Chains A and B, each alone.
Chain A
């Protein structure tokens, strides 16, 4: 009998998700053992757990890349950068969710459990270097987000959004899996690096079949990141979901989805970048165009932001689409954008959630005269919208600049100019909200419950949006290192 060989396992490399899983167990046990706990105890435990995970990720950031679990998991600067992005969005999400959960008397333990599970999934997605692990991560990320979307279970729209998201999501997972099987069948390996070796010369005789695999994979992941024409679920799911959930998933799922795209395209199919580059260029132009144009005609700010987030997916796709083996800026610009987007977009949805908690709505009319009623909220929302617009002194400007820079490096200047012109178009709907807040007379009254954690979360987002707008260079350098790894 041959001796059993245990794979060498480095538990430190997965310590972040271990911390999160332990937190899940603690939260669940607490809910069973002491069902009547009050106050922010669940939020505190969850924050502590995510904070620990973040600290563990920071602790790993100094060391060399670690590949473990038979090469199916890698902890390197790329995965760590995205882990920071994801955990940051997790922390901010917990901060802004607390008051919504309490006002609506929704199960806090369940909410945080599901949220933590989705974080585990996302970290798995960005760290996986094996198709199987990647797929497990994607499912672990997706299923909790379907649940979160339907978390306001007495609201029809929340249910409808969750159902739509679930059905289309399952469909896309199937397409993705089909693409994975093609890639596995052709190359004989599920390991990304192995597939990369196989496709290094363009796939040889299996070239056409590999192209099919790539197309299927891009289609599957395009659902996750909401790229046109696979974005149909986005407006309904984003609008139907509780606003705090939209805030969270619009940034974190996107970051994780792009992590998967980056890993797959640059590690499994680097030799075929001309082919998938063209596909992504087309997708990015369509996505930018549709997202930003359709957003203009929306009357509901939440739905408008949903379409605008489709537009931002298009911007980020530009960064990846211009990837070449020599272009160091392509991946770095996507990473930086993902990080920038966390603060601005999560913050913008966060302010909408804040208004809903105060008895306001999310239509344009509800924005009227907000500055007179709640100057801080209006100011914060303006900063977030300016950030999304790409205005100087907010994080959106360097983020867009780096994308344009990446397009120039790759001799794709026209794509950069399309990006820039559509950003100008996007200013139309962001401005409209700001005009309503500052220049119209108020129409609806707002109640004033106290939301201490929400305020902390929003202030942190403002600090992130403005602070990174001025002192962007450390993050940018880190993103470049991550892209080079």
Chain B
């Protein structure tokens, strides 16, 4: 019931905590040994990535339930556990985290030059926090990891960022912290509610989903709203998204990669892992709220992207729309919708991570992010232009790329639930094409850059390889999505079976 560990070694613990150990290691190195610090961080992130491949290959994608489980009692008598495990919902996001962290660490090699120790330590602590979020199966542990990501990310924005970095860092921290404190109150309620059961108090996922269907509707309602804000802020779902553009614009490139690539996914994952299972009945009844907000997010996000003049802000706002698809998919409560949502999270992680890296490439050379001051980059950096255009097309959902598969699944699911729910999505398809193509034309093809007449080519390992790799993964998911979908299928089916919905029509409540 609690899952087992076929591998026999606590691989999840190792993968999750290795970056933390790496952070300590980095902190112990002398301050002026710049290259030693950089290489240590790269080595740690690289080893972590290799171990992640072990996880991926020892994960049995046909198996339901949790695998590679590590579990022991943490606070005796209080019923709190140290409980890690992956299932089909988590495993791809877990992998994505490690991949994008490696990209971020490698990318930073020559672009970050001051306060190196703190920089790499922050990145590595952040990695541990994010990895932990995706495998923690005890609510208390989940909360610890969820909060652990806040400080390093705020530091990354505030110390190594640009512009109004302090304002943005503070805004980022406070928005998320406020949301998660409400979640904390909800967690404590769960604990009190669960402490009446025969086996004593528990916050363990497997035990809680046994209890949750029996909870009163009023309590489930509180669960829903208690968790909703924390994850909606993180997603970010309209109207809780206002921290995102600020945080992205002022974050350093590596910070943006991680923020867009992984941190936002913690919200979508939280919906699937905690909010919905803990309020099975209420979340079906209240689904109309996130559905409506997600449609607004998709349309509003798309239209507001249209008017952005800052390249980074443009991609940030397009994330709001893309993440809207995730919420839309999740709350249709259909197999296609939820699978599409998870696929959208992974795909958006790859694509937006790569796009932010691309923005970094331009910024390092032109020292501006204003679209009006760019132009004609295609003449100066041919290969890079090709890559960036491919990624832009991926972002707008071109068939053959991962976002297309995800968005089509979500749209289909939405259509089957209520046909008119899919209508705004078609508008999105047009608008998203408009802003991405408009941006590509202005930045790469029309006119000339005003400041530079030549630009140094991409650095192979820091810029070219990650961009190519991420683009290839996106293509792979676009043309051969079956293994990815199969991996998540058992877990998603289990979740939907657990909910009081018909598997075909999903959210039945809508008129």
Give the interface of A toward B (CB within 8 A): 371, 386, 390-393, 400-401, 404-405, 408-409, 413, 416-417, 420-421, 423-424, 427-428, 431-432, 435, 438-439, 471-473, 476-477
Contact = CB atoms under 8 A, between A and B. Distances in A.
A421 B173 contact: no
B147 A421 contact: no
A401 B182 CA distance: 12
14 contacts: A386-B151, A392-B148, A404-B188, A405-B191, A416-B188, A417-B182, A420-B182, A424-B178, A431-B154, A435-B158, A435-B166, A435-B169, A439-B165, A471-B75
Contact of B144 (A392, A417, A435): A392
Given A471-B75, A473-B77, 7 more contacts: A390-B181, A400-B184, A404-B185, A408-B188, A413-B222, A439-B155, A439-B158
Most B C-beta atoms less than 10 A away, residue of A421, A432, A438: A438
Nearest to B76: A473
A474 to B, nearest CB: 9
A427 B184 contact: no
Contact of A392 (B143, B169, B182): B143
Given A392-B143, A404-B184, A439-B158, A431 B192 contact: no
A472 B75 contact: yes
B277 to A, nearest CB: 20
Contacts of B148: 392-393
A446 to B, nearest CB: 18
Contacts of A404: 184-185, 188
A297 to B, nearest CB: 15
B177 interface: yes
Contacts of A392: 143-144, 147-148
B160 to A, nearest CB: 10
Nearest to A469: B144
Find the residue from B144, B174, B184, B185 having the highest chain A CB count within 10 A. B185
Contact of B181 (A371, A423, A438): A423
A416 to B, nearest CB: 6
Contacts of B75: 471-473
Interface string B241-277: 0000000000000000000000000000000000000
Contacts of B191: 405
A431 B166 contact: no
B174 A424 contact: yes
A424 B78 contact: no
A306 to B, nearest CB: 22
Nearest to B226: A417
A476 B159 CA distance: 38
Interface of B: 75-78, 118, 143-144, 147-148, 151, 154-155, 158-159, 165-166, 169-170, 173-174, 177-178, 181-182, 184-185, 188-189, 191-192, 222
Contacts of B78: 473, 476
A400 B191 CA distance: 14
Given A421-B178, A427-B177, A472-B75, A393 B144 contact: yes
B185 A431 contact: no
Contacts of A471: 75
B184 A428 contact: no
A252 to B, nearest CB: 28
Contacts of A401: 184, 188
B interface majority secondary structure: helix
B181 A421 contact: yes
What are the 8 closest A-B residue pairs judged by CB atoms, nearest first?
A: A424-B178, A392-B144, A473-B75, A439-B158, A404-B188, A420-B181, A392-B147, A424-B181
Contact of A431 (B76, B174, B189): B174
Contacts of A432: 170
A390 B78 CA distance: 19
Contacts of B178: 421, 424
B192 A408 contact: yes
Nearest to B122: A438
B174 A428 contact: yes
A423 B155 CA distance: 21
A417 B181 CA distance: 9
B55 to A, nearest CB: 25
B158 A424 contact: no
A483 to B, nearest CB: 16
A1 B188 CA distance: 65
A427 B174 CA distance: 7
A408 B189 CA distance: 7
Contacts of A400: 184
Nearest to B187: A401
A476 B191 CA distance: 15
Contact of B169 (A391, A416, A439): A439
Contacts of B118: 371, 438
B192 A405 contact: yes
A417 B174 contact: no
A476 B78 CA distance: 10
A421 B188 contact: no
Contacts of B181: 390, 420-421, 423-424
A473 B75 CA distance: 6
Nearest to B146: A392
Contacts of B222: 413
A420 B184 CA distance: 8
Contacts of A386: 151
B170 A391 contact: no
A226 B182 CA distance: 27
Nearest to B144: A392
A435 B155 CA distance: 8
A476 B165 CA distance: 40
Contacts of A421: 178, 181-182
A176 B75 CA distance: 42
A377 B305 CA distance: 44
A177 B497 CA distance: 66
B170 A416 contact: no
B166 A439 contact: yes
Contacts of B188: 401, 404-405, 408, 416
Contacts of B158: 435, 438-439
Contacts of A435: 158, 166, 169-170
Contacts of A405: 188, 191-192
Given A401-B184, A405-B191, A417-B185, A439 B177 contact: no
A431 B178 CA distance: 13
Nearest to B129: A392
Contacts of B151: 386, 391
Contacts of B77: 473, 477
Contacts of A476: 78
Nearest to A400: B184
Nearest to B192: A408
Contacts of A431: 154, 170, 173-174
Nearest to B78: A473
A388 to B, nearest CB: 14
A476 B184 CA distance: 18
A409 B174 contact: no
A237 B188 CA distance: 36
Contacts of B76: 473
A392 B184 CA distance: 11
A133 B168 CA distance: 55
Contacts of B185: 404, 413, 416-417, 420
Nearest to A432: B170
A427 B147 CA distance: 13
A439 B118 CA distance: 11
A393 B141 CA distance: 10
Nearest to A329: B192
Nearest to B185: A420
A304 to B, nearest CB: 16
A467 to B, nearest CB: 13
Contacts of A416: 185, 188
A371 B118 CA distance: 10
A120 B173 CA distance: 43
Contact of A413 (B154, B165, B189): B189
Contacts of A390: 181
Nearest to B169: A435
Contacts of A473: 75-78
